[in-house]
Each structure stands twice: as structure tokens, then as C-alpha cells.
């Protein structure tokens, strides 16, 4: 037992602390499963007006029995499921144990030691020199402090800058469009996405915590003190989930059971996509498509950035630049290329513009505290913001996508949905009326992009019937159900190429598997070498898109000369070759929440060498990529985890559990296949047309003579028929007596539910 707390009379911090402790005495713990607990404050239940709506958890969750008991004498309370025991001491501190009585996680026993804040005068001096000096942190309406034991590494937290291990940094959840180069320093506590979920790996255990709160939130991962980490929010009440499991995979499975999983994508969306701010005319787009075919570079999509619209008015098309979008999309379709268009939330204020007028008439836009429609400035100039917290608005917006899909557009790219604004931030008290339940901007901000993506997904699904293709910049927990995401405005910097790996891996460990960065970098100018290394490093990024900003060096694969063109061709072809593997991983993700790109720690949790590995990743569990992300490097150190690995390029077998040195000339991205794996590959293609795919080749990588097996998933790659059982599952087994390194199998023509087909690779 810790010593009794002394009550400092006029100590505000102390008072808040006591208040929090008292609240903690009112906490309710529900069991979702025997390994997932919801820990929330009791007030939420008493308050009947404020029903507990979660924007991340939309389905009714199961509840499992939890046994509560209280010791009248000691005041200790205990909650018990089949797997977990939670003890609460008299001070309201929780300790969570597993079945073996291992302490997994406990509230910190001491007080927080907040750093002294500077005086206003000192702050003013700093500001004069141009520092972004901020006064004291804002008051939190609750704060949970958990003990650190020194052996933790922490993962997740969405798209935050920096490295794989989040330990030692503090973060803020407040969706932010910040044009400065994204770096790991303290300026970048917040980025575009708010995914308040993290995984703590310790030597003896692993668990995850999901703070389900949409207000500005703070998550300090041992920055303030090495003794504890804490999380809290500027609004709302205490409500978080504790997710335990034996492995990181199980924690992710639990988290994605709560917040949902990315549905199967249309297969073509796994292809290479070319974007630029902006391809500005029909002729330019056609010429671009033809170039790809001329150079023999596979390509499945071209993206149209904001300039395709008529003066940035959403759901319009500039008739001068694109006189016949339908004809254009038909021509592109003949070449196997799809059009994707950007849509921002900011709606132009203009008389006679029907989207604006209808929205005004139906009360669909957010308002200021006096009840006037709230305006700010974005690309269209004076603009208003649709209230996506209202289902009616979402339905309206979703149906507006028909204007584009009827012209052949096959995907919607949602930008600026933090929401971003040019004329200062939206005030905290802007009102979102919802469907009767009013909310202020400070509560809605972090879910604005999430709800916009939801509106878009549902609209596309209703009206088009194919699996919706949405890309979004802003996210909240659960956005993976509706959308893929990109990491926003990176720059053509080596530091950003380096960061792309931990960013994508942490997004994956935050439940968002379908992600990518702007290949080549968005802002600034790429060099041929940087571009080459970027396309190598992103070769298996689920969202495989090259994008760049206006006024920067053009970034199409042929813009940098012959050598870069060759590298691009090689790695884009490699991507298409392994498409069936990627698509199988998408299927696996729908079952387990496991992302396609995985940090090494996910599969080799006990290996301390991989807990902070920032420059390698696994694709599924069978491919290991070790891209070169340093300028000038022509060799690199590669860590291979335990087991036998086969060098993809030389076919050399290498024993893992150690570092090796690998030569890596500009056209080589070190790549290893886990020994005794079977991998499915497709024949070369220029674009993905699942209906034309009739065969599959199995590549076998023998190593230690273990039996190899592989499960392959096949469906039409387009619509939702698979939900009616129209898919095939193949089981391939390799027999060891006379293994063959390659084998081609014919795929079935129709889709019948679950077939176990054994093909012997020999």
C-alpha cells in the first residue's frame, strides 16, 4: 500500500487528482469478451440525455459476464472474467492481472510530476524570437496514469510522426493539416489522424488500450516521466478499452473486433496509381495513360486533383477542361485505367450552385453559436461545412457521388477533412446539429473526416454496388471500415522516405491496413535516386500511389531518366506479380484485422532486436523487405529474424537470428522470402482485370524441408457477391519428396463456397 495522500489545500492539481480518484470509484467495468474490458465512468450511465454513442464502435458489442465483488473491510473491489482480474484499491487504483496472475497493467501509484511551466513573460520572450511557445496544457476532464516498468515498447497511435516505438514521446489527438515538413520533434504532436489506440509490448505480456474519446486528447507515452504514461481528454468522460492477448496479433484482432475491419477492396485498387496536383485536362490525362502503355508500365488509376472542378465547387466538373468526362473514362477503361476524383468537404458559397443552395435550404451545414451558417475559407473561397454528424446529410452527400460515378469515376479521394480551413481554425463552439443531438466542433473535429468517409462509402455502396473505393486524409478509430488512407503532405525528403515505414506500420497496428504514402514525396523536388528508393520501399504498400504537388518536379516514372524508369518498371512489375499474395492478405485481414504490412515485432515479439526496427517490414509473414532509405547507400545491414530466409534475388538460403550485410545497388531492394514458403504469383499484366485471370503460378522456396502449405482466396474482385458465398478457397500443399520450384495451376471459373483443393507442388 502506498502512503496516504496528503491533501494540499490550495493545490489545483491535487484537487483534480482527488476528483479523478473519486470518479474512479464510480467506474463501471464491462467485459466485451473475457479479454476485452470497457472501463468507463458511471456518470455516463446515469446521464440519460447523453446516451453513450461511440463513433468508432458502431455495432452493438457483445457483453460477457463479469463477476464483481467488494470487500467491505478493505474497500477493495474486484472484477473477474475467465481470463482477467481487475483489482481496485481504496484509492481507486486499478491493477489488471491475467489468469497466471501476471500483472499486466496498473494505475500509477504516485502523483504526476508535471514540469514547471514558464511564466507569461518568459513565454513572451520565446515567442518574440519566433518560437511556438505554449502556455500550460489545457485542463483535462479526466486523466488516467499507468505505471511504466521500463521494459515497454509502444506501437500504434495512427499516423504520428517519428519512429516505430512511441515510447518517450507525447502526442495530441487533434486532426491537423500542418504544411511544415513532418518531423519527429515536439512540433508534431498531432497530424491528420486521431486514432487513440496503442499497444504496449513488455517482456512478459502485451496489451492494448483504446481511448474512445473524440475531443482533443493527450497521450503521453513516458515523456513527462519514465515512471508512468498517461492519457486524458479535454472533454467527455472516462471511457477506454483494455484489450489483452498473448500476441500483438490477438490485441489487433480484439481492437478490430471493436472498431471494425477494412472490407475487401476491388482488386484493381491494389494496382499502381498515378496522381499529380493536377492533371488538368482531358488531353493531358489521355496522353498520360498512353505513356504508361507505351513504356509498358502497369497502371490502374489516374487521380484528378482539385483543378478538374469548376472553380473548386464539389461535385462539378469544369466543362472547358473536361468537356466529356464519360467519354474520357470510357476511353481510359478500354486501356484498363480508372479515374479517381478528389472531393473536399468545403462547399462554395455561391448563388445558383445547387449543392450549396440545397444544403442551406435543408439546414445541412454547421452553424456558429448564434445560429448563422458558419463560414471559413478553403479552396473554393468562402465556404461552408456539411454536418456529417447527421445521417440525412451523410445520405445526401453520399448520393451526390452519383454525379461523378455516372460519368465513370471509380473512386473518391477525400481531402481537407480534418476539417482544414485557411482563415484560422474553426472555433470550438461551431455547432453540428446532427439529427437532433447537437454537438460542438470540439467534440466533432476528430470524427469529421471519419464521418465524411462513411458518407462517401455508404453512398457509393448504395448507388454503385461495387466495393467502394474511398481514400481519406483525416481519420478516427474505425475509419478502416470505410476507407483507405494516405499520410498526407509528405515531402521529397530522405527523412520522409525513412519515416514512411514506421508510419505505415503503426497505422497497420492501429487497425488501418489499407494505407500508403505519396510515393516520391508530395512537396519539394525528388531526385532520381530518392524516387527510385521510394518506389522500391513502397512496392508492397497497400495504397500504391505516386502523387506530387503543384510547382514541384514532375514525378511520373519516366521523368527522371532511363535508370529510374527501369527501376520503376521493375518494382511496379514486382508488385503486380505478387498481387494474389496481397489480395490473400486482404482476405486474411477481413478475418483477423492483421494488416498487410507488418512490423517485425508482430511476428517475432520475443526478439528484442526487432522491437525498434524502423527500416524493415514484413508483407504478411512470408516476405521481408529491407529497403534502402539512406541517400548514397549501396549496401545495408539487414536483420533477419530466426529461421531460414531465401534471398529473393539470388535464391541464396540464409540463417536468420542475425544481422547480415547486403549489397544494394540502386536497382536492388533487399527482399527475403521465409524458407519453406509457397507464394502465389500472376503472369505480367498492364492492369488488373480479375475476370481475365485464369491461372496462378505457385513459387516454392525450399529451405529446411518443412512441409509448406498455402491458402489462396479467389472471388470476382469487384462486388459483394462473396458475401453470398461466391468465392473459392484453395489449399496448396507442397510435398517434399520431389519438390518443384514452380507450378502453374488453373483456377476455377465459377465461385462456389469453400472448396478445399489440394494441389501438390511437385
Distances in Å between the alpha carbon of 84 and those of 37, 38, 65, 130, 463?
9, 12, 12, 51, 45
Q: Smallest gap, in angstroms, from Cβ of residue 727 to ligand MIG?
A: 34
**Closer of 284 and 464 to ligand MIG (Cβ):** 284
Find the largest Cα–Cα distance for the chain: 82
Q: Which is nearer to ligand MIG, 336 or 516 (CB)?
A: 516
220 binds ligand MIG (CB under 6 A): no
* Distance between CA atoms of residues 407 and 309, nearest Å: 13
Active site members: 415, 418, 489
Asked if residue 277 binds ligand MIG (CB under 6 A), the reply is yes
Place of cell 454525379: 403
Decide: 233 and 483 in contact? Cβ < 8 Å: no
* Dihedral of the alpha carbons of 464, 470, 476, 477, in degrees to the nearest 10: 70
Give 277 or 639: the residue with its C-beta nearer to ligand MIG. 277
Residue nearest to ligand MIG (CB): 277
Closest distance of CB 378 from ligand MIG, Å = 8
- Cα–Cα distance measured from residue 762 to residue 760, given in angstroms and rounded to the nearest whole number: 6
Q: How many residues bind ligand MIG (CB under 6 A)?
A: 11
Residue 65: how many other CB atoms lie within 10 Å: 9
153 vs 472 by CB, closer to ligand MIG: 472
Task: Give me the least distance between CB of 540 and ligand MIG, in Å please.
Answer: 22
Q: Evaluate whether 626 touches 616 at the Cβ level (below 8 Å).
A: yes
Q: Pick out residues in 676-715 that bind ligand MIG (CB under 6 A).
A: none
For ligand MIG, the closer of residues 488 and 593 by Cβ is: 488
Among 167, 249, 252, 306, interactor with ligand MIG by CB under 6 A: 306
Query: Is 380 or 488 the residue whose CB approaches ligand MIG more closely?
Result: 488
Instruction: For ligand MIG, give the closer residue by CB, 522 or 722.
Output: 522
Q: All 3 cell numbers of residue 393?
A: 446529410
Fill in the per-residue mask, 737 to 756: x = in contact with ligand MIG (CB under 6 A), - = not in contact: --------------------
Q: How far is the CB of 277 from ligand MIG (least distance, A)?
A: 4
Distance CA 368, CA 378 (A): 17
Site string for ligand MIG, 332-371 (x = CB under 6 A): ----------x-----------------------------
Nearer to ligand MIG, 256 or 275 (CB): 275
- Contact status, residue 603 vs residue 508, Cβ threshold 8 Å: no
Output the CA–CA distances (angstroms, integers) from residue 739 to 5, 467, 652, 756, in the order listed: 70, 39, 17, 21
683: phi > 0 → left, psi -120 to 50 → alpha, else beta; which? Answer: beta
Tell me if 352 sits within 8 A of 310, measured CB to CB.
Answer: no
Strand order in the sheet with 103-106: 67-70, 77-80, 84-88, 94-98, 103-106
Give least dist CB 306 to ligand MIG, A.
4
Name the minimum Å distance from CB 158 to ligand MIG. 16
18: Cβ–Cβ under 8 A, 6 or more apart, which residues?
5, 7
Question: Which residues, 443 to 502, sit near ligand MIG by CB under 6 A?
Answer: 473, 488-489
Minimum CB separation of residue 714 from ligand MIG in Å reads: 34
3-class SS at 237? Answer: coil
Taking CB under 6 A as the rule, does residue 587 contact ligand MIG? no
Give one word for 390, left, alpha or beta, with left for phi > 0 and alpha for psi -120 to 50. Answer: beta
> Which residue number, 420 or 734, has a Cβ lying nearer to ligand MIG?
420
Placement of cell 515523456 in the chain: 223
3-class DSSP assignment, residue 375: strand
Minimum separation from the CB atom of position 413 to ligand MIG (A)? 8
Choice from 305, 458, 536, 676 touching ligand MIG (CB under 6 A): 305
To ligand MIG, the closest distance from the beta carbon of 421 in angstroms equals: 11
| Alpha-carbon dihedral 250, 252, 255, 256, rounded to 10 degrees | -110
C-alpha span between 386 and 516 (Å, rounded): 27
Distance, CA of 535 to CA of 8 (rounded, Å): 59
Site map (CB under 6 A) of ligand MIG, residues 495-534, x = contact? ---------------------------x------------
Partnered with residue 326 across adjacent β-strands are: none
Residue number with CB closer to ligand MIG (317 or 416): 416
Can you give the C-alpha Rg of the chain in angstroms?
26
- Site track for ligand MIG across 409-438, x = CB under 6 A: ------xx----------------------
Cβ neighbours of 611 (radius 10 Å): 20
**Least separation, in Å, of the C-beta of 267 and ligand MIG?**
24
Q: How many whole angstroms separate alpha carbon 415 and alpha carbon 392?
A: 21
Residues forming contacts to ligand MIG in the complex (CB under 6 A) are 277, 305-306, 342, 415-416, 473, 488-489, 522, 547
Amino acid at each position: 500500500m502506498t502512503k496516504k495522500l496528503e491533501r494540499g489545500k490550495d493545490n489545483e492539481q491535487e484537487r483534480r487528482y482527488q476528483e479523478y480518484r473519486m470518479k474512479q470509484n464510480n467506474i463501471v467495468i464491462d467485459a466485451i469478451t473475457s479479454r476485452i474490458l470497457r472501463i468507463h465512468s458511471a456518470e455516463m450511465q446515469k446521464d440519460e440525455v447523453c446516451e453513450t454513442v461511440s463513433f468508432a464502435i458502431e455495432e452493438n458489442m457483445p457483453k460477457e459476464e463479469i463477476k464483481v465483488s467488494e470487500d467491505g473491510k478493505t474497500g477493495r473491489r474486484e472484477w473477474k472474467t475467465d481470463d482477467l482480474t481487475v483489482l481496485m484499491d481504496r484509492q481507486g487504483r486499478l491493477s489488471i492481472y491475467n489468469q497466471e496472475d501476471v500483472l499486466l497493467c496498473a494505475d500509477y501509484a504516485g502523483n504526476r510530476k508535471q514540469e514547471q511551466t514558464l511564466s507569461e513573460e518568459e513565454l513572451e520572450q520565446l515567442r518574440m524570437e519566433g518560437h511556438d511557445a505554449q502556455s500550460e496544457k489545457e485542463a483535462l476532464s479526466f486523466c488516467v496514469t499507468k505505471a511504466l516498468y521500463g521494459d515497454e515498447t509502444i506501437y500504434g497511435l495512427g499516423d504520428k510522426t517519428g519512429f516505430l516505438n512511441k515510447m518517450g514521446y507525447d502526442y495530441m489527438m487533434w486532426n491537423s493539416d500542418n504544411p511544415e515538413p513532418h518531423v519527429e520533434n515536439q512540433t508534431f504532436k498531432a497530424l491528420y489522424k486521431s486514432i487513440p489506440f496503442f499497444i504496449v509490448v513488455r517482456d512478459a505480456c502485451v496489451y492494448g488500450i483504446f481511448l474512445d474519446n473524440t475531443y482533443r486528447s493527450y497521450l503521453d507515452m513516458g515523456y513527462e516521466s519514465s515512471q508512468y504514461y498517461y492519457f486524458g481528454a479535454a472533454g467527455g468522460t472516462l471511457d477506454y478499452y483494455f484489450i489483452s492477448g498473448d500476441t500483438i496479433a490477438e490485441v489487433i484482432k480484439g481492437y478490430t473486433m471493436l472498431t471494425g475491419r477494412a472490407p475487401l477492396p476491388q482488386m484493381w485498387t491494389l494496382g499502381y496509381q498515378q496522381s499529380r496536383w493536377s492533371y488538368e485536362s482531358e488531353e493531358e490525362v489521355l496522353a498520360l495513360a498512353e505513356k504508361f502503355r507505351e513504356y509498358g508500365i502497369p497502371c490502374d488509376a489516374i487521380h484528378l486533383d482539385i483543378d478538374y472542378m469548376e472553380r473548386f465547387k464539389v461535385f462539378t466538373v469544369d466543362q472547358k477542361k473536361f468537356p466529356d468526362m464519360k467519354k474520357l473514362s470510357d476511353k481510359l477503361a478500354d486501356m484498363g485505367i480508372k479515374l479517381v476524383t478528389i472531393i473536399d468537404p468545403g462547399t462554395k458559397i455561391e448563388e445558383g450552385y445547387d449543392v450549396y443552395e440545397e444544403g442551406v435550404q435543408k439546414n445541412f451545414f454547421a452553424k456558429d453559436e448564434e445560429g448563422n451558417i458558419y463560414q471559413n475559407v478553403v479552396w473554393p473561397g468562402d465556404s461552408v461545412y456539411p454536418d456529417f454528424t447527421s445521417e440525412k446529410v451523410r445520405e445526401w452527400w453520399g448520393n451526390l457521388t452519383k454525379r461523378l460515378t455516372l460519368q465513370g469515376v471509380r473512386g473518391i479521394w477525400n481531402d481537407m477533412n480534418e476539417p482544414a480551413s485557411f482563415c484560422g481554425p474553426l472555433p470550438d463552439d461551431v455547432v453540428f446539429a446532427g439529427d437532433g443531438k447537437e454537438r460542438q466542433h470540439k467534440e466533432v473535429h476528430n470524427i469529421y473526416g471519419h464521418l465524411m468517409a462513411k458518407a462517401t462509402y455508404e453512398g457509393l455502396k448504395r448507388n454503385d454496388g461495387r466495393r467502394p473505393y474511398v481514400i481519406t486524409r483525416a481519420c478516427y478509430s474505425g475509419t478502416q471500415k470505410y476507407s483507405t488512407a494516405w499520410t498526407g503532405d509528405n515531402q521529397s525528403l530522405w527523412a520522409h522516405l525513412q519515416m514512411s515505414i514506421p508510419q505505415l506500420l503503426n497505422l497497420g497496428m492501429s487497425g488501418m491496413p489499407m494505407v500508403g504514402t505519396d510515393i516520391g514525396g508530395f512537396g519539394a523536388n525528388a531526385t532520381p535516386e530518392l524516387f527510385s528508393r521510394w518506389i522500391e520501399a513502397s512496392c508492397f504498400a497497400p495504397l500504391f500511389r505516386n502523387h506530387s504537388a503543384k510547382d514541384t518536379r514532375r514525378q511520373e516514372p519516366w521523368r527522371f531518366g532511363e535508370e529510374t524508369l527501369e527501376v520503376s518498371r521493375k518494382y511496379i512489375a514486382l508488385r503486380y506479380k505478387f498481387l494474389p499474395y496481397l489480395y490473400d492478405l486482404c482476405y486474411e485481414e477481413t478475418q483477423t484485422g492483421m494488416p498487410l504490412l507488418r512490423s517485425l515485432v508482430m511476428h517475432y515479439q520475443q526478439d528484442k532486436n526487432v522491437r525498434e526496427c524502423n527500416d524493415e517490414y514484413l508483407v504478411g509473414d512470408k516476405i521481408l523487405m529491407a529497403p534502402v532509405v539512406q541517400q548514397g547507400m549501396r549496401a545495408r545491414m539487414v536483420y533477419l529474424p530466426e529461421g531460414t530466409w531465401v534471398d529473393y534475388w539470388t535464391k541464396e538460403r540464409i540463417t536468420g537470428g542475425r544481422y547480415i550485410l547486403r549489397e544494394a545497388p540502386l536497382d536492388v531492394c533487399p527482399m527475403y522470402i521465409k524458407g519453406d514458403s509457397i507464394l502465389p504469383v500472376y503472369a505480367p499484366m498492364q492492369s488488373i482485370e480479375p475476370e481475365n485471370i485464369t491461372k496462378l503460378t505457385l513459387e516454392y522456396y525450399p529451405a529446411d524441408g518443412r512441409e509448406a502449405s498455402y491458402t489462396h482466396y479467389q472471388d470476382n474482385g469487384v462486388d459483394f457477391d462473396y458475401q453470398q458465398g461466391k468465392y473459392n478457397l484453395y489449399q496448396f500443399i507442397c510435398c517434399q519428396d520431389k519438390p518443384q520450384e514452380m507450378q502453374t495451376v488453373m483456377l476455377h471459373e465459377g465461385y462456389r463456397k469453400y472448396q478445399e483443393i489440394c494441389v501438390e507442388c511437385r
